[in-house]
């Protein structure tokens, strides 16, 4: 479902004398439907960078990034947008929303985007929010005013609203209490059971053990600096 | 799928100076494209050249018309282009007073566009005007007030209603949230996003506000000195800018 072949990524800083910073080189990995892979490596090793390259948020310098038959490294913007709408979900560490939009609509939006009827979309959103212990009295408020933990749970609810065949999860269990953590792990297991290919970053080792089928250490993709 | 709009090598000169040049892109149905760049970068010139407000010196602006399929609007007859401007195209000006008739009631402003496309039934026109006032969150009781009695944010929403009432397929917007305070701006962004989704609109939005394009636009085009220096997915261009100028632009945004 997700397959990377020899992907590299570098940043060119034009305003700092054109410095080129290579951050990733020779990254190859594959994820089958129903499989969950954990990315490991020290902070700064490039776990999130790899995820952003797969999502098309960072432009790969070379290599192939195949997701559901689309090469994200080369696809036109509208093909990547269609891929993100239908196929590839991403739960980032930050919630970014239009101010003033109620939480319930924020969570329902990915479903509306794929043509689910508004009532059905809001029902699904309500189920997810309730499951993640966001009190119903907050659903009509914008999540911009919520606490960090609440925003993160809204972000997870939004990420799991549509049943994406491929998902990227950036620290989905960080800073959650035991009960919510269990709910998130259950959502991940349900997604695997319906055949989703998942790549996740988990600092929480127990969570990683529980849901990941194998791990990939991204330090292997860090360019070797010539001494 | 046929692109809704195909722009090919468009150029507009002001004497020897470049307004914009070598601009080419395709816009598909339902896509929202943002054009960013500092003042004087040619983004408004480009928008006005595409929308037929300025006559380009070179290039084609091919629109997929309902009746005849793709037609070059630059070489189209003036009446045909004006008809397009009243039906399938809409233009939202930065200053609402440029896009509204200030001496005509709010209802009249919306109704005028309907009459321009042949609607003659007064009751019908008034009902649709009232419906659109509701959609842009203006109280129906204000239907007979003139826009001069409206706040800036209300005028801007009225301008949007006037433009969208005929069900256009392509909307050109020039700094639609410029000059509005942030709470009004947020409301307008929400409104625009919902209208784009519900009506399947395509839109081209010129702005210098990167936060606005991040929320509204699927794709981004960055201009400098009349030329396109970078294009791509909005979040990719903003988070991983490739061109020196885009990097400068993105790193210059103040954090709140």
Rg (CA), chain A: 18
pLDDT of residue B14: 95
Using H for helix, E for strand and C for coil, what is the string for B50-98?
Answer: HCCCCCCCEEEEEEEECCCEEEECCCCCHHHHHHHHHCCEEEECCCHHH
E-assigned strand segments in chain B: 5-14, 17-27, 32-36, 58-65, 69-72, 89-92, 170-174, 202-206, 219-224, 227-233
Query: Which is higher by pLDDT, B253 or A8?
Result: A8
What number is the ipTM of this complex? 0.89
Question: What are the extents of the domains in chain B?
Answer: 5-88+169-251, 102-167
Contacts of B79 (CB under 8 A, 6+ apart): none
Q: Which CATH number fits domain B5-88+169-251: 3.40.109.10, 3.40.50.1100, 3.40.50.300, 3.40.50.720?
A: 3.40.50.300
In the structure, what pLDDT confidence band is assigned to residue B167 with cuts at 50, 70 and 90?
A: confident
pLDDT of residue B49: 96
pLDDT of residue A111: 95
Q: Give the span between the Cα atoms of B202 and A162, in whole angstroms.
A: 24
Tell me how far the alpha carbon of residue B146 is from its chain's centroid: 23
pLDDT of residue A227: 43
Q: Give the span between the Cα atoms of A107 and A154, in whole angstroms.
A: 7
* Average pLDDT score over residue span B211-220: 90
Q: Are A201 and A46 in contact (CB under 8 A)?
A: no
In the structure, what pLDDT confidence band is assigned to residue B256 with cuts at 50, 70 and 90?
A: low
Q: Give the span between the Cα atoms of A221 and A201, in whole angstroms.
A: 16
In the structure, what pLDDT confidence band is assigned to residue B216 with cuts at 50, 70 and 90?
A: confident
> Searching chain A, which residue's CA lies closest to the CA of residue B193?
A98
pLDDT digits (tens), chain A, 227 positions: 999 999 999 999 998 888 999 999 999 999 999 999 999 998 888 999 999 999 999 999 999 999 999 999 999 999 999 999 999 999 998 888 877 889 999 999 999 989 999 999 999 999 999 999 999 999 999 998 898 889 999 999 999 999 999 999 999 998 889 999 999 999 999 999 999 999 999 998 999 999 999 999 999 998 876 54
Three-class SS state of A101? coil
Q: Are B21 and B11 in contact (CB under 8 A)?
A: yes
Q: Which residues of A touch B218 (CB under 8 A)?
A: 77-78, 81
Q: Which residues of A touch B232 (CB under 8 A)?
A: 59, 77
Q: How far is B36 from chain A (nearest CA, A)?
A: 17
Contacts of B211 (CB under 8 A, 6+ apart): B253
Pick from A105-109, A219-223, B192-196, B226-230: least confident: B192-196
Instruction: Name which of B3, B28, B229, B236 to mutate to probe chain A: the one with the most chain A Cβ atoms within 10 A of its Cβ.
Output: B236
> Searching chain A, which residue's CA lies closest to the CA of residue B233?
A77
Interface check for A115 against chain B (CB to CB < 8 A): the answer is no
Instruction: Name which of A46, A77, A113 to mutate to probe chain B: the one with the most chain B Cβ atoms within 10 A of its Cβ.
Output: A77
pLDDT of residue B135: 86
Closest CA to A22 of A1, A49, A42, A54: A49
Q: What are phi and psi of A134, to 5 degrees?
A: -90, 115
Structure tokens at B142: 């204000």
Contacts of B137 (CB under 8 A, 6+ apart): B157, B187, B191
Does position B54 have pLDDT exceeding 90, yes or no? Answer: yes
Closest CA to B232 of A49, A48, A78, A71: A78
């Amino acid at each position: 479902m997700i397959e990377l072949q020899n992907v590299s990524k570098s940043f060119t800083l034009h305003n700092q004398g054109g410095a080129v910073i290579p951050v990733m080189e020779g990254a190859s990995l594959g994820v089958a439907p129903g499989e969950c892979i954990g990315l490991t490596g020290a902070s700064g090793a490039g776990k999130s960078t790899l995820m952003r390259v797969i999502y098309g948020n960072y432009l790969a310098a070379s290599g192939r990034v195949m997701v559901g038959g689309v090469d994200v490294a080369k696809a036109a913007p509208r093909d990547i947008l269609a891929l993100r709408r239908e196929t590839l979900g991403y739960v980032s560490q930050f919630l970014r929303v239009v101010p003033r939009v109620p939480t319930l609509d924020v969570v329902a939006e990915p479903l509306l985007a794929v043509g689910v009827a508004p009532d059905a979309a809001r029902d699904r959103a309500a189920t997810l929010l309730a499951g993640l212990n966001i009190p119903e009295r907050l659903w009509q408020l914008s999540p911009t005013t919520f606490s960090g933990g609440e925003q993160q749970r809204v972000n997870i609810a939004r990420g799991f609203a549509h049943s994406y065949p491929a998902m990227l999860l950036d620290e989905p269990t960080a800073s959650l209490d035991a009960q919510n953590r269990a709910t998130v792990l259950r959502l991940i297991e349900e997604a695997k059971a319906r055949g989703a290919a998942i790549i996740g970053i988990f600092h929480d080792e127990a969570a990683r053990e529980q849901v990941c089928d194998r791990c990939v250490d991204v330090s292997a993709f860090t360019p070797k600096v010539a001494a | 799928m046929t692109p809704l709009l195909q722009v090919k090598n468009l150029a507009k000169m002001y004497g020897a100076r470049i307004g914009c040049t070598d601009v080419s892109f395709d816009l598909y149905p339902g896509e929202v494209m943002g054009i960013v760049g500092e003042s004087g970068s040619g983004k408004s010139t480009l928008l006005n050249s595409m929308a037929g407000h300025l006559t380009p010196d070179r290039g084609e602006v091919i629109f997929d018309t309902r009746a005849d399929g793709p037609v070059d609007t630059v070489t189209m007859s003036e009446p045909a282009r004006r008809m397009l401007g009243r039906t399938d195209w809409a233009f939202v000006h930065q200053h609402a007073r440029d896009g509204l008739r200030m001496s005509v009631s709010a209802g009249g402003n919306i109704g005028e566009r309907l009459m321009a496309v042949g609607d003659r039934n007064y009751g019908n026109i008034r009902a649709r005007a009232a419906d659109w006032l509701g959609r842009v969150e203006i109280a129906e009781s204000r239907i007979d007030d003139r826009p001069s009695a409206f706040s800036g944010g209300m005028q801007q929403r009225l301008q949007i209603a006037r433009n969208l009432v005929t069900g256009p397929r392509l909307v050109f917007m020039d700094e639609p949230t410029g000059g509005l305070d942030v709470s009004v701006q947020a409301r307008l962004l929400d409104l625009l996003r919902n209208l784009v989704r519900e009506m399947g609109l395509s839109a081209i939005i010129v702005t210098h506000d990167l936060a606005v394009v991040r929320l509204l636009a699927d794709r981004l085009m960055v201009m400098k000195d009349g030329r396109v220096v970078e294009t791509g997915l909005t979040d990719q261009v903003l988070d991983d800018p490739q061109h020196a100028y885009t990097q400068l632009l993105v790193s210059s945004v103040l954090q709140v």
